[in-house]
Chains A and B, each alone.
Chain A
Amino acid sequence: QKEVEQNSGPLSVPEGAIASLNCTYSDRGSQSFFWYRQYSGKSPELIMFIYSNGDKEDGRFTAQLNKASQYVSLLIRDSQPSDSATYLCAVPGDAGNMLTFGGGTRLMVKP
């Protein structure tokens, strides 16, 4: 059974700083990973998808995957108060897009 672990936080960073969110996973065979953002009382929205070792950048967001160490990270540069949310890491199943989510990390960006 796939497991995904995240520090629940809250992670507090000042506005303009880099926020670093981490996720570890149990299944060494996992190939791809999703990062979702969830505002309080709202549904998750996809912000990043990564499937190869190394970094993937999209605007202020960078996802980093290290398969040897079985962790995936999300960096948010120039953090804004509007980035305050819970960030969920997820891995798909072996044969479909049934996701196993971590518990999420709550990020607070203070003005």
Chain B
Amino acid sequence: ETGVTQSPTHLIKTRGQQVTLRCSSQSGHNTVSWYQQALGQGPQFIFQYYREEENGRGNFPPRFSGLQFPNYSSELNVNALELDDSALYLCASSATGGKNEKLFFGSGTQLSVL
């Protein structure tokens, strides 16, 4: 198992609500990335944080936002939830975010939007 922890493990929300997902990075890692994985698909990159700054963003609307804290833990916030937001949300940390650096994934948060 990696040292990346995510909470909660499962979450059920209704359409239009807001949700916050949390991630603690592995010790010594200052970069956190978030991915969305819909059922039967590969993970899609949402954004990455490096030392508390957004360092890159995928093709997701502004209602997906995030934060990284001084201890390098991170939050993913999703506003105005839609049914298509139902997915496994994966957090991954790495030491510095370098191009070929290994990602260490957490166990994920399964979000269901009803």
Contacts and interface: CB of A to CB of B under 8 A. Distances in A.
Contacts of B40: 8, 103
A98 B43 contact: no
A101 B58 CA distance: 12
Contact of A45 (B43, B48, B105): B105
Given A88-B43, A101-B42, A101-B44, A96 B105 contact: no
A99 B108 contact: no
Contacts of B100: 32, 49, 51, 92, 97
Size class of A's contact patch? 20 to 34
By DSSP majority rule, is chain B's interface helix, strand, loop, or mixed? loop
Interface stretch (B14-22, B61-69, B70-78, B90-98): B90-98
Nearest to A51: B100
B90 A97 contact: no
Contact of B48 (A4, A46, A98, A103): A98
B107 interface: yes
B24 interface: no
Contact of A32 (B31, B97, B99, B105): B99
A11 B36 CA distance: 24
Nearest to B46: A98
Given A88-B43, A92-B100, 7 more contacts: A43-B107, A88-B42, A93-B56, A99-B33, A99-B45, A101-B42, A101-B43
